[in-house]
Chains A and B, each alone.
Chain A
Amino acid sequence: MKIKSILVAASVLGLSLLTACNSTVNKSQAESTGDSGVRTIKVATGHTSKPLSWVDENGEVTGYEPELIKELDKVLEDYEFELFGVEDSAGETGLATGKYDMLAGGLGFTEERAEQYIIPSESSGRALIKIYVAEDSGIESIQDLVGKKISPLSPAGATYKSVKDWEEENPEFKLEYDLADVGIPIADRLKEVATGKYDALFYPSSYGQIEIIEDQNLPVVGLDPVKIIPTFFMIHKSEENEELKQAIDEGLKELAEAGVLSELSTEFYAEDVFQYD
């Protein structure tokens, strides 16, 4: 009797899983091939990268990139955009496999990405690599960092590359720093500069530094960017997405000309990232 009950329970579990999977399929297929001729584009974006993109208290995906997507949704009549907040690695994996049509992750152009994805001609934003120093440090530019204590740089990512590029262009200045994947929240790293543990911190400016410095009342300032990197949406490589690329280019151009990109930048980054162009 007991064995029979276990077998029945197992079958019910298996069937309910399969049924649930099927119902998800039907719903998604109906969504993406709606009768209205409007194509639904699935966009992956980060869920913990405030202010670039994050999930707010109401469970809504928001931030500079998601709000830009919502603006594109308004100007591109043939497309509808659905946002998915996921981990960065899941976003890129899902884009490569076609699970997502587009990735809004504040990514820069690289040859490898251009080979793997379709990259629009119009950029969606700017990644600014800035130096954060104590207000009274007297440091005004990257040249002043010779002989100073620099917070460790992550060997991966654009920050280290930007610093290395600058060093190659300016061999007369020798900077000293360690390489480490620190994993400390940006708020704590800014505090390390404020308390004098380090004299300077190189960091992309899109992590809410201005808001953190104001909220925590830290005596820290961000200098002008060392490097300005245009960022792009990445599109899954397929024939039908060539049309999507055209549409994204047109939409971004229209929004940039109308000043929407600068407005969103000021709203989320507390400064217009396009002012340094």
Chain B
Amino acid sequence: MGIAVSDLAVARGGIKVLEGVCFALEPGQALVLRGPNGIGKTTLLRTVAGLQPPVSGRVEMAVDNHVYAGHADGLKATLSVEENLSFWAHVFGNKDVSDALSAFQLTSLADRPAGALSAGQKRRLGLARLLVTGRPLWLLDEPTVSLDSDAVAMFAEVIRAHLSRGGAALMATHIDLGIKEASTLDLAPFRAKAPEPDDFDGVFL
């Protein structure tokens, strides 16, 4: 149910950015990834999500266990809030979207086209998608971007409820959500070193 990552190395654009990353996540736990821009938080999350293969190392988790939420929310501007959400619910084999709508206070906006939402409302809709998937492991890349402080509190509440149901969350974020179950992993020590050239010619090859 949880996830175990051992000695993982990931690359972006053919250049290794992180190596030797190890962590484990049990049900009910959350792990926050931290590190400066460009350290490879997004790349690590995409690798764990299975969107790109790791350079080396292993990601061990059950199949069809996780849901990924990236920088883009995957919303269709001409579909309504409710249509967007129920599409994802159907893809993941669920039907009911009312709980997810109310958790992020989107019920009053349900009939509005997603293109007419503000940036923060779009993000809330993107996060509401996590609830309709019914998946236990959430992989979140900067989930709080463009959320105001009320919405961040709303999101923290949803995460807390998810953890108490036995879910888990791996997220890259810079702000403190105030979730006491969450531990933090600083990625800076795992920054990949440039490979040492074997000989003088190696520098030019």
Q: Are A and B a genuine interacting pair, yes or no?
A: no
Residues in A lying within 8 Å of B, measured CB to CB: none
Residues in B lying within 8 Å of A, measured CB to CB: none
